[in-house]
Amino acid sequence: MSELTRIPAPDGVAAAAQYSHVVLGTGRFVAIAGQLALDERGRPVGEGDPAAQAGQVFENLRRCLAAAGATFDDVVKLTYFVTDMAHMPAVRAARAEHIPDDRLPAASAVQVAALVRPECLIEVEAFAVVAP
């Protein structure tokens, strides 16, 4: 695990409740492509259910991070793409199962008209820094 510094509220910037404004560290950079709610065979999980989809997305992120020798502790940035901002509580709940509040990464949330798979409601990409 790399040594990361999280800055939730830089001078002159309003504090964020659900993310850190700045996360920095040294080590190997790891980029994880946007993950959808698909099982290991590429089949959709939880059609129409944001909580089930968010859970699958974070499980896929965990597996991708592990493949790079990383964990959620190494994540410096998450980007959430949702088809409806009403899905964000489900995303936050799934994130909370993997990332404690004192280790929150920087984050962005974007509402999109659609994702590449129309049955998917949520996509999340991650960036991590792993100790060399």
What are 9-37's pLDDT values in tens digits?
899 999 888 899 999 888 999 999 999 99
d(CA 52, CA 38): 11
What local confidence, expressed as pLDDT, does residue 116 receive?
96
What local confidence, expressed as pLDDT, does residue 1 receive?
56
Angle CA(7)–CA(28)–CA(6) in degrees, nearest 5?
Answer: 10
What local confidence, expressed as pLDDT, does residue 25 receive?
87
